[in-house]
Structure 1
Amino acid sequence: MVFDPAEWNVPATDFQKQDWNYSVYGCDGLTEELPEDMPKPLGKSMRMHVYVDSDHAGDSLTRRSRTGFVVFLNSAPIYWFSKRQTSCETSTFGSEFIAMKTACDYVKGLRYKLRMMGVRVDEPTYIYGDNQSVLANTSNPGSTLKKKWGFFS
């Protein structure tokens, strides 16, 4: 594997700006919590993007879905993940949403770790998915989650 330091350019049509101020998740005053003893970042800022997908009920025996994602730093893949989900989802939306949550959790930790190693990560992480329902529920500030989460014993 070769690390490609070339800067990745975000296509302007891929991520349209939204006004999150009226949402309960509004952006006013939000900042990432970083420790005071964090090393000073060196070099150029790195741009991170992720491709996420899942296959609904792909395991023919257990009917569980598989989560997969690839993380790129600039133009180089630095991490890939593929694992069977722990729950058995009844819809494609559910399995894609679990995959998106798994990728977001990983990215949150990775951004922190990169910063603690002195890598400059100033921009948001761009996450690509192929399920329109999940994208609508996670990128539109006026959207309410249309998935009922229920756990039965």
Structure 2
Amino acid sequence: MKTPFDPAIRIGRRKVDAIRLRIKAEIECVSHYESALSALEQERKEECTRAGGDWTISTYEWLRARQAQAHILAEQRMEASERLERLREEATQTYGQCRALEKAADARREQERQSVMRKAQAEADDLSNARRLLKLRAAAAARKRDGHDPAG
């Protein structure tokens, strides 16, 4: 049974699905930045270990460049994490609105179902009363015909 809420529910579900896809993309983005940071840290450790045995190799500039790169990656990861958090909040809010609409639609369907049931019961009661009235009239007519009319 359709309700006036159905279009809004469909739109809400589409929004939730779209947000879910954006959340998945942001999770992958955060994961990518974390992997890149881990790889950069591992590379830094390996390079420092190799250069540690040879005092003629200066790793100062190289380390500064890697630290700057790590700083950029950390900022990007933080921005992606913030976007992810905002998307999760938006998803929660949108899902809550969608659930409220679904509950309202369910309540509307239940009201309509009860209205149909009350109408059917009223029709059944009317038919029953009509049958009883017809039987009473037929009995009164039979008594009148047979001359047993107490009223007359």
TM class, shorter-chain normalised? Answer: under 0.3
The alignment's TM-score, normalised by the length of structure 2, stands at 0.22
The alignment's TM-score, normalised by the length of structure 1, stands at 0.22
Q: Quick one: higher RCO (CA 8 Å, sep 6+), 1 or 2?
A: 2
Structure showing greater radius of gyration is: 2
More helix by share: 2
More strand by share: 1
